[in-house]
């Protein structure tokens, strides 16, 4: 059975309660913001046999020593792309196939 975006939402909410797919104008921190940004498809015998949606997942926290990025990075098929600070907030951006 294919996993849905709502399954991903529930998984991320297990890490922190503030999870946004279509974020409001004002976010509550710490939070996780994510969006779909691609997919991966593998073929065998000229037919697709595996498909995974790719998401960009961003952890945002005021605390530079937050443990949330570590928890996100432990997810299967997840890798850290970059980290940066902006407007007094720390951002960790991951690529996640789900």
**Digit-coded pLDDT (tens) for 35-72:** 999 887 777 778 776 778 999 999 999 999 999 999 99
CB atoms within 10 A of CB 55: 22
The whole-model pTM stands at: 0.88
In the chain, the N- to C-terminal Cα span, in Å, equals 12
**Digit-coded pLDDT (tens) for 25-41:** 999 999 999 999 988 77
CATH number, residue 81: 3.30.2000.30
The domain tally of the chain equals 1
Q: Classify residue 81 by burial, with Cβ atoms within 10 Å: 0-12, 13-18, 19+.
A: exposed
Q: In which domain, by residue range, is 19 found?
A: 5-97
């Amino acid at each position: 059975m294919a996993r849905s975006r709502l399954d991903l939402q529930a998984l991320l909410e297990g890490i922190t309660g503030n999870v946004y797919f279509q974020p409001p104008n004002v976010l509550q921190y710490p939070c996780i913001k994510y969006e779909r940004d691609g997919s991966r498809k593998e073929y065998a015998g000229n037919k697709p046999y595996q498909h995974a949606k790719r998401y960009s997942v961003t952890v945002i926290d005021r605390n530079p020593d937050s443990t949330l990025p570590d928890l996100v990075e432990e997810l299967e098929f997840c890798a850290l792309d970059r980290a940066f600070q902006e407007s007094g907030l720390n951002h960790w951006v991951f690529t996640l196939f789900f």
